[in-house]
Chains A and B, each alone.
Chain A
Amino acid sequence: GAVVSQHPSRVICKSGTSVKIECRSLDFQATTMFWYRQFPKQSLMLMATSNEGSKATYEQGVEKDKFLINHASLTLSTLTVTSAHPEDSSFYICSVPGLGLKETQYFGPGTRLLVL
């Protein structure tokens, strides 16, 4: 499988500030990464597909200007929550498709965001 890391693991911020979350693929290059959001006791909701060298593809209902995604290299994608509000508090998880068998998703450990 793939090893995926996220940083930070948890963050607390004030309302109105911006928060950056990093997702790294540690053992192979990934031209595509995915960002999910998960509210308590709910399933994973795909937010966007991060594409190396091009714009991210956002799911319906996800504001691209609020959730900025940058796939700066083949091993790093970042998600920036801009002007965060309490309703943005959630568990954010990235995933990387498997090498070869791309249907298999390998998830990072997640980032817990709390906006006060």
Chain B
Amino acid sequence: GENVEQHPSTLSVQEGDSAVIKCTYSDSASNYFPWYKQELGKGPQLIIDIRSNVGEKKDQRIAVTLNKTAKHFSLHITETQPEDSAVYFCAANGGGSYIPTFGRGTSLIVHP
């Protein structure tokens, strides 16, 4: 089955800095890669996703890049703000499966 590794587990940055979270996956059939943001005590919220036919996608301060050859994808947050503080999960869906395999999560702390 699919295995998703996520790094780092904790990321601390100053407000205004950029943050990068990296994930690798094992199943070359995976073709959909969502990123979720989970605030304390709440359910995960989809913030951006990318499909395997695209190398990069941007949405305001958030961008995701995908390298299919190397089987890794990354989340980039620019101009971080304290409200970006949360746990971020990457995930990968393989071969038409509705069920994502999640990474272990990254706790992002943005210091004012």
Q: Which residues of A contact B (CB under 8 A)?
A: 1, 4, 6, 32, 34, 41-44, 46, 49, 93, 97, 102-110, 112
Contacts and interface: CB of A to CB of B under 8 A. Distances in A.
11 contacts: A41-B105, A42-B105, A43-B105, A103-B93, A103-B96, A103-B97, A104-B49, A105-B34, A105-B100, A107-B43, A110-B42
A44 B89 contact: yes
Contacts of A112: 41
The contact size tier of chain B is 20 to 34
Interface string B77-92: 0000000000001000
A104 B46 contact: yes
User: Do most interface residues of chain B lie in helix, strand or loop, or is the interface mixed?
Assistant: loop
Given A42-B104, A44-B89, A107 B45 contact: yes
B103 A108 contact: no
Contact of A109 (B32, B43, B93, B102): B43
Nearest to B87: A41
Given A43-B104, A49-B99, A97-B98, A105 B32 contact: no
